[in-house]
Amino acid sequence: MGDEVVGVDCLSYAGKLRNMSGFIDKIFFYQKDICSDTDVAEITKEHNPDWIINFAAETHVDNAIESCDEFIRTNISGTKALLEVCRQTDTKLMQISTDEVYGTIAHGSFSEKSQLSPRNPYSATKAAAEHLIQAYSATYGVRTKTVRMSNNFGPRQDKEKFLPTIIRKLRNGEKIPVYGDGTNIRDWLYVKDACKLLYTVLLRGNENEVYNVTHNNEMTNLELIRHVTDILSINFHDNISFVNDRPGHDFRYSVDNSRLQDLGINIATVFQEALKETIKSWEELSSYE
């Protein structure tokens, strides 16, 4: 017998019911806003979950640079609403945070003890949420776990993200816009692997602690594009266009996952196979046409 799952999602621009078609009949689903602590409290009291897992977030850095109002609302106020529900119902909270809260690092990797130094509005709101969680834990005794995760990719990711943008541009015969010189480094984690790692932390991690979640798969933006063009047998050099760098663009994210490895983790999916599966899934979605 597996876990009973209750999903809550307001289905904003990046949320689509069709993305849940494979499992929505197997869970309890509510189209509600996590910022409404009244709604979330009612759902929590009805189902009495052991954990609230907060995946909800505004995440796209470019959008946050243009306007961070929704990021403050969802990432900070939404987390506060969930913490209030947890305080009232004695439910535990698992927070899905990001490696971006550490800021950029030229050499080595950040540990969970490293100072938080966010450099864009998005990562600042995620760091603020973490501070709220720490405060609720210390002040009210709310039991929590926090994971700081590297860049996810995989099927059904919203089209604004980097990998879907690469695929969309190539399929439309357009050049891929590359910030700066394309040497910025990100750590790519396949979404199916990410879910397995999160479940490991949920089952085995210590309460009121933080875990970096990654399989340490770093590459430059140009290297990522080349992987895609190679799979699609498309010329790399003819399909990129360098554009002005965005403000506050972090050069490299890198986190140490030693604490995660101590819990015992599965071997990562082979990157090329994960990328092929991801590309195939996008080709089947009309939203990327």
6-31 pLDDT, tens digit per residue, is 999 999 888 889 889 999 999 999 99
Query: Hey, which residues does 110 pair with through a beta bridge?
Result: 255
Mean pLDDT for the stretch of residues 88-100: 98
pLDDT of residue 1: 57
Mean per-residue pLDDT, 228-237 = 95
Q: Which of 9, 33, 100, 130 is catalytic?
A: 100
Report the half-sphere exposure of 83 (CA within 13 A, side-chain side): 24
**Annotated catalytic, 100?**
yes
The residue with greater pLDDT, 1 or 138, is: 138
Q: How many C-beta atoms lie closer than 10 Å to residue 156's C-beta?
A: 17
Measuring CA to CA, how many Å separate 74 from each of 3, 82, 288?
27, 11, 26
Please report which helix (H) or strand (E) contains residue 56, including its range.
Answer: none
Known catalytic residue at 122: yes
In the set 99, 112, 130, 250, the catalytic residue is 99
Task: Tell me what pLDDT residue 2 has.
Answer: 78
Task: Specify the 3-state DSSP secondary structure of 126.
Answer: helix
Residues of the chain above pLDDT 90, percent: 89
| Residue 4 is a catalytic residue | no
Q: Give the domain ranges of the chain.
A: 6-288
Active-site residue, selected from the candidate residues 122, 190, 211, 253: 122
pLDDT at residue 289, as a whole number = 45
Q: Judge contact between 158 and 164, C-beta under 8 A.
A: yes
Residue 288, pLDDT above cutoff 50: no
What's the pLDDT at 196? 96
Compute how many other C-beta atoms are within 10 angstroms of the C-beta atom of residue 288: 15
* 51-72 pLDDT tens trace: 999 999 999 899 999 999 999 9
6-288: CATH topology is: Rossmann fold (3.40.50)
Task: Give the helix ranges, DSSP H, for the chain.
Answer: 37-47, 61-66, 69-71, 78-89, 121-140, 162-171, 191-204, 221-231, 258-263, 271-283
- pLDDT band at 285, cuts 50/70/90? low
Number of C-beta neighbours around residue 275 at 10 A: 21
pLDDT of residue 15: 87
